[in-house]
Amino acid sequence: MQTYRLWISTPDQPGLIYKISKSLLDEGFNIEENHEFVDKEGNLFLMRTEIVGEGAADILEQKLTTVLPEDSTIEVIPARKKNIVVLGTKEAHCLGDILIQHDSGELTADIQAVISNHQVLGELVQRFELPFHHVTHEGCTRQEHEAQVMDIIDSFSPDLIVLAKYMRVLTPAFVERYAGKILNIHHSFLPAFVGANPYKQAHQRGVKIIGATAHVVSDDLDEGPIIAQNVVHVDHSYTWQAMRQAGRHVEKVVLTKALELLLEDRVFVFGNKTVVF
């Protein structure tokens, strides 16, 4: 008996659930959990089904291909521990949270390596006896730096790349190479602030809320389909450093939440947004 997560995305039309559930029954799969959503604007039917059975995944996929519309996307993903590579820069809070959960067996993922453009996180990673790769960005172009990072990533073929406060802008080539596989976390404010040290700006603006957004990386580092968001209340008594510290707590929790969702194949990206089942 094997568990799979079946993701179907197809133009909406009558009878889809009937056709899909019949195929599953015919091929010997039982439905353990099922979520559907119809995006009416895009006339898109989305379905995530957790199925258990002795049947073969490729035969199910073929079967579904024959009964569903031509331009459907069908993925039959075996439920297994995923491999991740974590990228960081200097801040330890997000990386540390992942390391602790990994160490205590709460994270259903194997951390293959941590890569950083600074040396400072190396000691922490080595405490957990995990491979640490320091790839400095100094003395090389953005392309040269990324080439080295990609070489290391590719040597592991990870399922996911987690940017745990990785403070480098990614090139379109990098984003495209790992399309849909890069998870990022960034601070979020109401209103938003661009430019250097957003916490200083937020402090100067007197915000009463500090947020964090975890998202799949598309083009721009801080844009891309949102998976999870949360906030924490602050007030005038917070210095900008205290705001940053408060932000760190919410960042690590939101990143971990989003990572858990991705590890269970619960996130589907369409357009610039997500369905999270």
Nearer to a copy of itself, 156 or 270 (CB): 270
Q: Which stretch binds a copy of itself (CB under 8 A): 73-81, 147-155, 166-174, 203-211?
A: 203-211
Which part of the chain contacts a copy of itself (CB under 8 A), choosing from 1-9, 33-41, 161-169, 177-185?
A: 33-41
Stretch that binds a copy of itself, among 2-10, 138-146, 148-156, 243-251 (CB under 8 A): 243-251
Q: Which of 183, 256, 259, 263 binds a copy of itself (CB under 8 A)?
A: 256
CB of 190 to a copy of itself, least distance (A): 4
> What span, in angstroms and rounded, lies between the C-alpha atoms of 113 and 136?
16
Q: Is 34 exposed, middle or buried (0-12, 13-18, 19+ CB in 10 A)?
A: middle
Tokens (6 digits) for 273: 């947004």
Instruction: Please say if 220 is a catalytic residue.
Output: no
Q: Residue 26: which residues within 8 A CB-CB, separation 6 or more?
A: 63
Interaction between residue 4 and a copy of itself (CB under 8 A):
no
Nearer to a copy of itself, 10 or 274 (CB): 274
Residues in 125-154 at the binding interface with a copy of itself, rule: CB under 8 A: 127-128
Does position 66 interact with a copy of itself (CB under 8 A)? The reply is no
- For a copy of itself, the closer of residues 131 and 177 by Cβ is 131
Contact between residue 46 and residue 65 where contact means Cβ atoms under 8 Å apart = no
Residue of 57, 211, 247, 263 interacting with a copy of itself (CB under 8 A): 211
Stretch that binds a copy of itself, among 27-35, 110-118, 154-162, 167-175 (CB under 8 A): 27-35
User: Quick one: 34 or 83, whose CB is closer to a copy of itself?
Assistant: 34
| Count of residues of this chain found to bind a copy of itself when the rule CB under 8 A is applied | 71
Cα–Cα distance for residue pair 86/165, rounded to 1 Å:
10
Q: Which of 103, 222, 235, 265 is an active site residue?
A: 222
Per CB under 8 A, does 156 bind a copy of itself?
no
> How far apart, in whole angstroms, are the C-alpha atoms of residue 174 and residue 24?
37
Nearer to a copy of itself among residue 140 and residue 179 (C-beta):
179
178-197: contacts with a copy of itself (CB under 8 A): 188-192
Q: What residues are labeled active site?
A: 222
